[in-house]
């Protein structure tokens, strides 16, 4: 998910640096707005004799070396001038410095995408669901195995992303697709019966959404390629 999807940028083709443009002035002119305009004026003056062009973010992928909430994170995302695609980087030297934007020809490509679930959460959730009764360990293992079998057949490209993981920029969170959910219910009904099936069925129903224990974790690994 592109962290800079709404940004507007000016770029110098000779120096390969970018300036983030102030797109909307606040209702009341303030010091921050004035500083932003001054920074833009300075950028244009500094690169007056260079090839300056407008760029905009494109694509849906971005990558970060730290959680997105970390101000020291270096973030990469795609931009375009309408003719060619580039990879832009946003970073800062220290916590007190503004972000510096640079760019170079290329594109971000997904080289691996994996859909997983959290085993620990599943097992803990089942214990809570069946308390004060207990589900045999072999049954718990079978349930977890079935979940993994179903999830392994989910196409990462068909998963609808709900939100990003705040602590892991490579991971996004999604709800289990309806087809996979119905397959999971059918498989579990073959293993559990009676009161166990009643409890498992309720567990599946209550945990299928993006905030439940059947949450899908989609991990994408990106690489930079020539464009």
- Kindly report, residue by residue over 212-222, the tens digit of the pLDDT: 999 999 999 99
Other Cβ atoms closer than 10 A to 36? 17
**What is the distance in angstroms between the CA of the first residue and the CA of the last residue of the chain?**
20
CA dihedral 144, 149, 151, 153 (to 10 degrees): 180
The rounded distance, in Å, linking the Cα atoms of 142 and 152 is 15
Choose between 4 and 212: higher pLDDT.
212
User: What pLDDT sits at residue 68?
Assistant: 85
Q: What is the per-residue pLDDT across 96-128, written as a single tens digit (0 to 9) for each?
A: 998 999 999 999 999 989 999 999 999 999 999
The rounded distance, in Å, linking the Cα atoms of 65 and 60 is 17
User: What pLDDT sits at residue 35?
Assistant: 63
Residue 132 preceded by cis peptide, ω within 30 = yes
Q: Tokens 């494109």: give the residue.
A: 58
User: What pLDDT sits at residue 149?
Assistant: 97
Instruction: Give bridge partners of residue 220 from the DSSP assignment.
Output: 113
Q: Tokens 């996979």: give the residue.
A: 180
The rounded distance, in Å, linking the Cα atoms of 225 and 227 is 6
Task: Yes or no: say if 129 and 214 are a contact pair by the CB < 8 Å rule.
Answer: no
Q: What is the per-residue pLDDT across 60-72, written as a single tens digit (0 to 9) for each?
A: 788 999 998 899 9
* Distant-in-sequence, close-in-space partners of 158: CB < 8 Å, separation ≥ 6: 177
Residue 131 pLDDT exceeds 60: yes
Residue 204 pLDDT exceeds 90: yes
The rounded distance, in Å, linking the Cα atoms of 211 and 199 is 19
Nearest to 64 by CA among 112, 3, 18, 116: 3
């Amino acid at each position: 998910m592109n962290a800079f999807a709404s940004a507007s940028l000016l770029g110098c083709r000779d120096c390969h640096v970018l300036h983030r443009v102030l797109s909307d002035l606040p209702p009341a002119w303030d010091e921050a707005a004035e500083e932003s305009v001054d920074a833009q004026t300075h950028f244009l003056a500094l690169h007056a004799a260079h090839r300056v062009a407008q760029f905009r973010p494109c694509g849906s992928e971005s990558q970060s070396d730290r959680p997105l909430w970390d101000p020291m994170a270096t973030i990469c995302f795609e931009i375009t001038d309408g003719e060619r695609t580039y990879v832009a980087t946003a970073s800062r030297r220290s916590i007190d410095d503004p972000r510096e934007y640079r760019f170079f020809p290329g594109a971000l490509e997904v080289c691996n995408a994996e859909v997983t679930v959290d085993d620990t959460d599943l097992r803990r959730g089942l214990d809570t669901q069946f308390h004060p009764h207990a589900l045999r360990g072999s049954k718990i293992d079978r349930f977890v195995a079935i979940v993994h079998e179903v999830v392994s057949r989910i196409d990462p490209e068909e998963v609808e992303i709900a939100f990003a993981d705040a602590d892991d920029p490579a991971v996004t969170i999604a709800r289990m697709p309806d087809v996979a959910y119905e397959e999971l219910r059918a498989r579990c009904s073959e293993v559990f019966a009676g009161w166990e099936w009643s409890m498992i069925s309720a567990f599946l129903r209550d945990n299928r959404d993006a905030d439940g224990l059947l949450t899908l974790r989609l991990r994408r690994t990106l690489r930079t390629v020539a464009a």
